[in-house]
Every structure is written in C-alpha cells, then in structure tokens.
C-alpha cells in the first residue's frame, strides 16, 4: 500500500468517527429544540443536519480518494475531495437560508421559548464536543493535506461558535424574558453560516479549476533558488496541481545542450529528489528537459562551460513570476525594458 493510500485510509477512519458523533449531537439538539421551542436552537439543529450530510459525503470522497489510479483516472481520484467540499459548502449556505427564513417569521409573529435551563445544558455540552472534534479534524487535515478533513474541522469549529452564541441568547432570554432576542440571534447566525459556506465553496472551486497556489509556488521557488546548481541554467513553465493529499508538479528544466542523456537525467533527478525530500507531501513529477540556446549563455553562470558563445550578464532569480513563465528566459526579454525614448536599457 502506497503512502498516499495509507494516508487516505487513516483519514477515512477518522471521518467515519466524525459522522457517527455528528448523528449523536444532532439527536441531542433535536431534544433541546423539542424542549425549548427556540429558534436559536432550531438554527443549531439545522446546521447539525448539514454536519451529518457533509460527514457522510466526506466519507464517500475519502473512499474514492483512497482508490489507486486506473485507466479512466490516470491522475487518481483525489479531485473528488474538492467536489464534495463544494457541495458541503452549498449545503451550509442552504441551511443558513432556512434559518434566516425561520427567524424572520418568528420575529414577525412572535415565538415564546420554554424550558430554557434544559436547553442551555444540552446545547453547551454539544458545543464542547463539537469544538473538540473540529480542532482534531482540522489539525489532522492540515497534517494529511486533506481538504475534506480541513473543511469538516472548520465547519465543526464554526458550528461551535454559533452554538455558543445560541447558549448566550438562551441565557439572556432566560433572565430578561425578552423573547425577540432568540429570533434575532438565529438571524445573525444564519447569515454567519452562509458566509462560512461561501468560503468553503470558494476554496473548493479554486481546487477544481486548478487555481495557482502562489504561496506554494513562492516557497518552492525560494527553496530552489537557494539550492540551485550551476548546471541548472533555467526553470520555467512550472505548474502545481493538487490531487487529494498529493501534488502533481510540471516544469521545464534547462540544462547544457552538450550533456549526454544519462548526465542530463541525473541532474534532473537531483532536483526532483531535492524537492521531494523537503516537502511533506507525496509528489508526482512531470519534468521536461530543455537544451540551452545561444541566448542562454547570458543568464548562465556555469563559467567552466567549454562551448560558451556569449558573455554571462545576469542570473535569473527564481521566484513565483519567473518559474511560472511559459517560455525560456532570455536576457533581452527579461532584463531589458524600453525607456521613454524607445531605447532598450538594462533594469
């Protein structure tokens, strides 16, 4: 079993526990709502329904993500995590809409909560359990690079804060007998839940559409720049995709044209090994070896080169912009710019 599959199996087992606990908490909140007839407790129970649906969707996505690559899915099944995370976010938004509709109706027609002491006790207990599970889920998601566990953890933690808000509103209503507070709190947290759902959907869409992770590219560029070797003349057209907990990295590496195939391949392997050993994720590489051109001499600091045709001028510093550039770097294109008179001048 590969490292990625073992990680996915562990994540699946943990998500199963989250789903079971979600059902238990939902039953507890239903009991609290039945006892209190509180709109705020209703909003909390509604979010718990989403928790349960999201937990089981997360289970399914982790099950698929753990499956090995096949003929139909040559990059594996990890992208399903983005899909299920997006659906989870949409469900959260829908729950927020229902809560807002219910709370507005109660504010307009009046609603008198009852047995608030029992409601406070039950809801406080569910909040504590929710936060504990959310904290563990998010930390594990970060460690395993699982979007499903991170989304689940954030959702559970956001549910905790809304639940605490519900508890505070119940306490206020219990002591003040101002019943509209209950509906107002439900309205506020309905809007907050919708905002959380939007953020989850936004993250999922960025993964599905392979939005560039500029932070990751920046860290990788900085690391390669600090550890580059003279033979690594240039690197460009770098792309990073996330598939579940793993990464797929494409790039073009420019090497001296006179290197034999074996020597060029060894240099490429040195770079790949360097990246792999300093990254806490499983990586699939697809690097292309380019031969240097005459214009490459001006950015190449391999001074012992036996076939140099131009004088070295300036080395290209690798950063987010330069390593993601589609074309090979060229001194005239990368370091010269037109001044106000139209003349080319060095930066």
What is the 3-state secondary structure of 74-106?
CCCCCCHHHHHHHHHHHHHHHHHHHHHHHHHHH
For residues 315 and 334, give the distance between their C-alpha atoms in angstroms, rounded to a whole number.
10
Tens-place pLDDT, residues 77-106: 566 667 777 877 887 888 788 888 878 887
Closest CA to 57 of 155, 202, 142: 155
Q: What is the pLDDT of residues 61-73, one digit of tens each?
A: 666 666 666 666 6
Q: Residue 179, Cα to own-chain centre: how many angstroms? A: 41
The CATH homologous superfamily for domain 214-346 is Cation efflux protein, cytoplasmic domain (3.30.70.1350)
Burial class (CB within 10 angstroms; exposed 0-12, middle 13-18, buried 19+) of 339: exposed
Q: How far apart are CA 317 and CA 53, in angstroms?
A: 48
All structural domains of the chain with their residue ranges:
3-208, 214-346
pLDDT score at 243: 63
SS3 label, residue 213: coil
C-alpha closest to that of 20 among 62, 65, 59: 59
| Separation CA 99–CA 39 (nearest Å) | 8
CATH annotation of 3-208: 1.20.1510.10
pLDDT attached to residue 186: 80
Q: Are strands 283-291 and 234-243 parallel, antiparallel or unpaired?
A: unpaired
Contact 80, 148 (CB under 8 A): no
What is the C-alpha separation between 166 and 335, in angstroms, rounded? Answer: 60
Band of pLDDT at residue 223, cut at 50, 70 and 90: confident
What is the reported pTM?
0.55
């Amino acid at each position: 079993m590969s490292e990625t599959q073992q990680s996915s199996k562990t994540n699946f087992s943990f998500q199963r526990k989250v789903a079971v606990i979600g059902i238990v908490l939902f039953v507890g909140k239903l009991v609290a709502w039945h006892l209190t007839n509180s709109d705020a407790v209703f909003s909390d129970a509604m979010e718990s329904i989403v928790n349960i649906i999201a937990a089981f969707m997360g289970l399914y996505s982790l099950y698929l993500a753990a499956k090995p690559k096949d003929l139909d899915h040559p990059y594996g099944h990890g992208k399903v995590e983005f899909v299920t995370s997006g659906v989870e976010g949409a469900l959260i938004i829908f729950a927020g809409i229902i809560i807002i509709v219910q709370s507005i109706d109660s504010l307009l027609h009046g609603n008198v909560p009852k047995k608030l002491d029992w409601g406070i006790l039950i809801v406080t207990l569910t909040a504590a359990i929710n936060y504990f599970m959310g904290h563990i889920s998010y930390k594990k998601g970060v460690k395993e690079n699982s979007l499903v566990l991170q989304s689940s953890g954030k959702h559970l933690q956001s549910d905790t804060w809304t639940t605490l808000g519900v508890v505070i509103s119940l306490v206020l209503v219990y002591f003040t007998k101002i019943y509209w507070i209950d509906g107002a709190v439900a309205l506020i947290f309905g809007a907050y839940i919708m905002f959380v759902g939007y953020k989850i959907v936004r993250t999922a869409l960025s993964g599905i559409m392979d939005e560039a992770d500029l932070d990751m590219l920046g860290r990788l560029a900085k690391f390669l720049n600090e550890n580059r070797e003279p033979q690594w003349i240039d690197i460009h057209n770098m792309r990073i995709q996330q598939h579940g907990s793993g990464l797929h990295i494409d790039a073009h590496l420019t090497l001296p044209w006179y290197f034999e195939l074996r020597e060029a391949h060894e240099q490429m392997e040195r770079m790949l090994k360097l990246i792999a050993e300093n990254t806490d994720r499983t990586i699939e590489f697809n690097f292309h070896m380019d031969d240097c051109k005459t214009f490459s001499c001006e950015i190449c600091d391999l001074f012992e080169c036996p076939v140099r045709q131009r004088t070295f001028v300036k080395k290209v510093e690798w950063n987010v912009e330069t390593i993601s550039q589609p074309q090979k770097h060229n001194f005239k294109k990368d370091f010269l710019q037109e001044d106000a008179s139209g003349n080319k001048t060095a930066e």
